[in-house]
Amino acid sequence: MQIFKVGGAVRDRLLGKPVTDIDWVVVGATTEEMLAKGYRPVGADFPVFLHPKSGEEYALARTERKSGRGYGGFTFHASPEVTLEEDLIRRDLTINAMAEDDQQNLTDPYHGQRDLEDRILRHVSPAFAEDPLRVLRVARFAARYAGLGFTVAPETLELMRQLSESGELEALTAERSWKEISRALMEDQPQVFIQVLRDCGALKVLMPEVDALFGVPQPEAHHPEIDTGLHTLSVLEQSALHKQPLTVRWACLLHDLGKGLTPEEEWPRHIAHEHTGLKLIKAVNERFKAPKDCQELALLVGKYHTHGHRALELKASTLLELLQSFDVYRRPQRFEEFIAACEMDARGRKGLEQRSYPQADYLRGAARVAREVAVQPLLEKGFKGPELGEALKRERLKALKIYKDAASA
């Protein structure tokens, strides 16, 4: 029995990055031997075991063969005869197909270290094209390591293009897709993830609503970058630079989908794109079964982001409606995330990345004023039920008018 550290732990150590998760491969062992040493089996599909003390995962060396469609369409073979090189060749990228023993002696049959040095994301073998999830994984690694200068090898991008055209991507489950998408959006350069998916034709399959934004012009006065797709990438880039949470990044990706539906004869204007985009945002939300908080914020940002930009001009009554729509009294954090998404939208424009966004503090102030309206005096006046709600609304409107007048003075 020989035990090797494999995959990301080896890659990140060689890159000088912190090693968090460690995967281990066991060569020359049987299931019975693992059980006898106290390892605990995990699941029924893979020969994977938990270490009796550390709890880390140890997998028997295995080979795999394509047996059906999608991510799960494989049969696995694990036995003491499977070599380390045979186990490594089934992995996705050369930089993930290295192993080291307890003395840090490197086993690198597919030249992963060289590709690390050359900053190349390259597939290990033609079997790469058998797993559609790898399209998303490579795009995610591209987003993670773009800052270090990594790019996708042309031949790997070509395989990804073939996969995108094969119909295999449609076999991915919503859960597996969302896991990769959500992780990619939280990388340092999530816009690279979207760009790589577009470069290989996968964006058109997975998110045609986002792909449709590229080539759609916007008014140059507001959008010096003009192209709506490029604007979306820039907004996503800003969301990462400002360390926004997943909810905000997801909303940033989807906020302008309605512009993809604007008839060409109306370009570059996009009248009512906020309203027309809602059905598209809902469709993307449902396709990937995004978490409820991501779904809700994406719809609200899609519907109201132009309200955010025009906050200083809004009538007090419109401002109150906006606050009510977000339920700022019980869910203040959601409104704060809306403000963040609006600011990222404003900054995601060529040459305007450092612009100030006074609307943010103005909206925060309006929310604070509305929340500070006390209920108790109205209860003491005998208001209750629906009448109490209307009275509270009137008092909040009065407070917002005073706030607006003071801000305009």
Question: The CATH number of the domain where 4 resides is what?
Answer: 3.30.460.10
Task: Note the Cα 130 to chain centre separation in Å.
Answer: 24
The reply to whether 60 falls in a domain is yes
The reply to whether 248 falls in a domain is no
pTM for the complete prediction? Answer: 0.92
The reported pLDDT for the residue numbered 45 is 63
* End-of-domain residue from the set 58, 74, 109: 109
H-run or E-run covering 375: none
The reply to whether 56 falls in a domain is yes
The reply to whether 317 falls in a domain is no
Peptide bond into 80 cis (omega under 30): no
- Report d(CA 303, CA 184) in Å as an integer: 25
- Report d(CA 38, CA 53) in Å as an integer: 9
Closest CA to 111 of 26, 14, 202, 20: 14
User: Which residues, 6+ apart, have CB-to-CB distance to 327 below 8 Å?
Assistant: 334
* End-of-domain residue from the set 109, 137, 165: 109
The reply to whether 407 falls in a domain is yes
Closest CA to 181 of 213, 143, 140: 140
The reply to whether 37 falls in a domain is yes
The reported pLDDT for the residue numbered 46 is 66
Amino acid at 128: F
Number of domains, the chain:
2
The reply to whether 256 falls in a domain is no
The reported pLDDT for the residue numbered 66 is 57
Q: Are strands 74-78 and 99-100 parallel, antiparallel or unpaired?
A: unpaired
CB 231 within 8 A of CB 253: no
The reply to whether 102 falls in a domain is yes
- Within 10 A of 178 (CB to CB), how many other CB atoms are there? 17
Instruction: Give long-range contacts, CB 8 A cutoff, 24+ apart: 325-330.
Output: 325/300, 326/300, 328/367, 328/370, 328/371, 329/370, 329/371
* End-of-domain residue from the set 43, 76, 109: 109
The reported pLDDT for the residue numbered 75 is 64
Give me the domain span that covers residue 400: 373-409
- Report d(CA 24, CA 377) in Å as an integer: 66
The reported pLDDT for the residue numbered 69 is 53
Q: Which residue has the tokens 């997801």?
A: 250
10-residue averages of pLDDT along the chain (409 residues): 94 93 92 92 80 92 67 67 93 96 95 98 93 96 97 98 94 95 98 98 98 97 95 98 98 98 96 97 98 98 98 97 96 97 97 96 97 93 91 96 93
The reported pLDDT for the residue numbered 42 is 87
